Amino acid sequence: MRRVAIVGAAMTKFGEDWERGFRDLIAEAGVKAIDDANMSGKEIDAIYGGTMAAGRLIGQEHITALIADYMGLNPIPATRVEAACASGGVALRTGYLAVGSGLHDIVVVGGVEKMTDVPVGDAAVALGGAGDQEWELFMGATFPALYAFIARRHMHEFGTTEEQMAMVAVKNHSNASKNPYAHFQNVISVRDVMKSKKVASPLKLYDCSPITDGAAALILAPLEKARKYTDTPIEIIASSQASDTLALHHRKSLTTLNATVEAARKAYNMAGVKPNDIDVCEVHDCFTIAEIIAYEDLGFVKKGKGGRAIEDGETALDGRIPVNTSGGLKGCGHPVGATGVKQAVEITWQLRGEAKSRQVKGAEIGLTHNVGGSGATCVVSIMRRAD
C-alpha cells in the first residue's frame, strides 16, 4: 500500500444548532477542510461520508449524494458509510484504504449528524438501532442501561467507584472548556456529577455524552504528494477494524470490549509501535465507564486499573498518556456519525501543534478509538507527524 497522509482537517462547532440543517453542517466542515489543504474541489476524487441515522433523525437517506450535490462536487463518487457510532471511524478507514490502494489520490472523509431536530425520545430510539433490536431494545434496554450493566460488573470485579467515573467527566469537561468547538464549555466537579440525576444506576446524567449536532471532515492524499498541500502532513500509519457480538449477553466478559482489543492489537502491529509510544489519544467515551475500559483494552494500563489511572491523573492533559484532549464525546459532544472523524481532526491538530491551550507538548504519535454500539464495531487508527 501507498503511505497515506491527512492534509486538511476541519470541523464545525458542536452543540445544539437550531439555525442550520444537516447539509449546512457538512458543507461548512468540508469547505474548511478543503481550504485547510490549500486545494480546489476539482482535485477531489471521491467522498466517504459517515452518518448513522439520518433517515430516522431528519427523514433523509441517500446522504452522500446530497453532500456531493450541495458541495458542487458532482460527478465524483460519494459513498455513505454506516457503523452506528463508529460510522466516522469506518469512513476514515475506508478513505485510507482507497488512497493507500491507489484507487484514488485525493479523498474527502466526512462525518455528520443532525440530532436535535426530533424529540429526545425519538433520538433515543434511533440510537437504539446500534444495539440488538430483538434481544435488547425490544426488551426495554437503553444504551445507558447497557453501559450501566458494564459499569456494575467493572465495579464488582475491580472495585471501580462512581467517583472515579465522575473524574472522567470532570477531566473531559475541563478539556472541552479549552476547545472552542466543544458542545460544553463549563467546568464541573466530582460533586456536580455525583449530584446529577440518575439515568441508569450507577450512571448519572453527567456520566453520559449529550445529543449533539455537528460535522467534521478530513482530506487524505498519498504521502508523496502531501507537501503540495501542507507543510505539516500527518501520516496515518495504521487503521484497523474489528467486530464483536451485537448483544452484551453473548459476550464472554462485560468488562472487556474484544473488538477494541483486537483492533488495537492489529493497529499496533501495523504501525510498529506499542501502547507506551502513544503521546495523545482520543477514545470513545460515550459513557464515563467506556473511557475507563478503553484505557485497559488499548493497553495503557492493566485490566482493572483504569479507575486508578483517572484518579492518579495519568490521562490528564499533563499526564502520562493524555486522553480526550478535545473533551471527548462527553465534553466536546457526540453527533454520532461525526465523532470518529472529529477524533482524527483533534489528533491532527495535536500533532501539528495547533491545539493551543490544550496542546500536548511534543506530541508525535496519536491514536483514535471509535466504537459502534456497545462494542460490536471498533476502529483504531494511529497517526504520526510525517518525516
Our CA angle for 242, 271, 354, nearest 5°, is 100
Q: How many CB atoms lie within 10 A of CB 92?
A: 32
| Cβ–Cβ < 8 Å for 108, 64 | no
Location of each CATH 3.40.47.10 domain in the chain:
4-119+212-234, 140-208+235-385
The values of phi and psi at residue 301, to 5°, are -140, 165
CA-to-CA distance for 191 and 204, rounded, in angstroms?
12
State the average pLDDT over residues 13-24.
95
| pLDDT value at residue 356 | 96
Grid cell digits, residue 306: 483504569
Do residues 379 and 263 make contact, with C-beta atoms less than 8 angstroms apart? yes
In 197-303 the beta strands, taken as DSSP E runs, fall at 198-200, 203-204, 214-222, 234-243, 280-282
Compute the distance between CA of residue 203 and CA of residue 121 in angstroms, rounded to an integer: 18
Residue 170 CA to residue 175 CA, distance in Å, equals 9
C-alpha cell at 47: 467522498
Give the pTM. 0.97
Q: What is the percent of the chain with per-residue pLDDT over 90, rounded to a whole number?
A: 93
Q: Is the pLDDT of residue 137 over 90?
A: no
Q: What is the pLDDT of residues 195-230, one digit of tens each?
A: 999 999 999 999 999 999 999 999 999 999 999 999
pLDDT at 153: 98
- Please provide the distance, in angstroms rounded to a whole number, between the alpha carbons at the two ends of the chain: 18
Catalytic sites, residue numbers: 85, 334
**Cβ distance 295 to 309 under 8 Å?**
yes
Homologous superfamily in CATH for domain 4-119+212-234: Thiolase/Chalcone synthase (3.40.47.10)
* β-pair type (107-113, 198-200): unpaired
**140-208+235-385 carries CATH number 3.30.750.24:** no
